[in-house]
Amino acid sequence: MRLENKVALITGAGSGIGRETATLFAREGARVVVVDVNDAAGQETVSMIEAAGGQAVYVHADISQAADCAKMVRTAEESYGQLNILFNNAGISHINDDNAETTEEAVWDLTMNINLKGVFLGCKYGVPALRRAGGGSIINTASFVALVGAATPQIAYTASKGGVLSMTRELAVIHARENIRVNALCPGPLRTELLMKYLNTEEKRQRRLVHIPMGRFGEAREIAQAVLFLASDESSFVTGATFMVDGGITAAYVTPE
């Protein structure tokens, strides 16, 4: 098993990419700390893991709050003795996130607090734990929109994911000699509740699909497989990477420097 004897903490593990990754990690031998603000969903993920013979514990945490991030990392070490993998995955795409003129300041602030500050706080408390474990892997969920503008305006989301990408690069450089790898996962448009709630009309969905060379939305399980690679020792020489899993969308629209 690719994650045997590893302990992984996953935020936003109650649904979507987080849940798919949590269950996959458990099948690959990891003990999983499931983090979410939705207690019922988080507990359901734990139950799914346990029903399949894996080990998991649930922690309620609002990742925009420092005390909660400290608590989730502390729970990992208290429950399983170490932390080897940190997947800063939780994020939001607000229904009222639009262009710069129409997006309310409160929507901007909420998006930044969860999508960007939440990753910062995860690393703030997670890095020392990984150091205590002798190193490990951090995967931060960014997005393809960190590299290209979104066809449907979502200014706060796009800006927050650009920040995650930049922060990941700096963290990778700072901690490379400590055996701590830090990579940014950049999914393309996925068939998840988060995106489908935002792309709530056929017109909006088609505006996204026309830009994807593969002609379809990705699935959360496909992203989980990419996270598994970045979490495992198979990616031991990979750090500071912008890891695209996007159906070819950025290949079609990003001009090489």
Q: Tell me: the pLDDT tens digits for 117-146?
A: 999 999 999 999 999 999 999 999 999 999
Domain for residue 62, yes or no?
Answer: yes
Domain for residue 151, yes or no?
Answer: yes
Across 206-252, the runs of DSSP E, i.e. the strands, are: 242-245
**Range 214-236 average pLDDT:** 96
Contacts (Cβ under 8 Å, ≥6 apart) of 4: 28, 29, 30
Domain for residue 1, yes or no?
Answer: no
The boundaries of the domain holding residue 110 are 7-253
Distances (CA, A) of 2 to 26, 29, 75, 124, 203: 10, 7, 23, 26, 41
Q: Which of 25, 76, 67 is nearest to 49 (CA)?
A: 25
Q: What is the pLDDT of residues 60-117, one digit of tens each?
A: 999 999 999 999 999 999 999 999 999 999 999 998 999 999 999 999 999 999 999 9
Asked whether 49 and 26 are in contact (CB, 8 A), the reply is yes
pLDDT at 72: 98
**Range 217-227 average pLDDT:** 96
Domain for residue 2, yes or no?
Answer: no
pLDDT at 254: 67
pLDDT at 255: 62
Domain for residue 230, yes or no?
Answer: yes
What are the residues facing 140 on neighbouring strands? 88, 184
pLDDT at 41: 98
Higher pLDDT, 194 or 12: 12
What are the residue numbers of the active site? 157
| Per-residue confidence band for 256, with pLDDT thresholds at 50, 70 and 90 | low
Joined together, the tokens standing for residue 17 give 């990419």
Domain for residue 84, yes or no?
Answer: yes
Distances (CA, A) of 248 to 135, 214, 232, 245: 32, 7, 24, 8
Query: What distance in Å separates the CA atoms of residue 11 and residue 8, rounded to the nearest whole number?
Result: 10
Q: Which of 183, 161, 164 is nearest to 172 (CA)?
A: 183
The label of the residue with tokens 């066809």 reads 151
Q: What is the pLDDT of residues 153-202, one digit of tens each?
A: 999 999 999 999 999 999 999 999 999 999 999 999 888 776 777 677 88
pLDDT at 9: 99
Number of domains in the chain: 1
Q: Are strands 31-36 and 7-11 parallel, antiparallel or unpaired?
A: parallel
| pLDDT beyond 90 at 205 | no
**Range 48-69 average pLDDT:** 98
Joined together, the tokens standing for residue 144 give 């393809």
pLDDT at 102: 98
> According to the per-residue pLDDT averaged within each range, which of 148-157, 204-213, 233-242 is highest?
233-242
Domain for residue 139, yes or no?
Answer: yes
Query: What distance in Å separates the CA atoms of residue 246 and residue 179, rounded to the nearest whole number?
Result: 28
Domain for residue 141, yes or no?
Answer: yes
Supply the CATH number for residue 95's domain.
3.40.50.720
Q: Other C-beta atoms within 10 Å of 40: how many?
A: 8
Tell me the residue type at 61.
A
| pLDDT beyond 60 at 257 | no
| pLDDT beyond 80 at 47 | yes
Q: Determine what percent of the chain is predicted with pLDDT higher than 90.
A: 85
Distances (CA, A) of 256 to 78, 131, 195, 250: 46, 35, 28, 10
Q: What is the pLDDT of residues 231-249, one digit of tens each?
A: 999 999 999 999 999 999 9
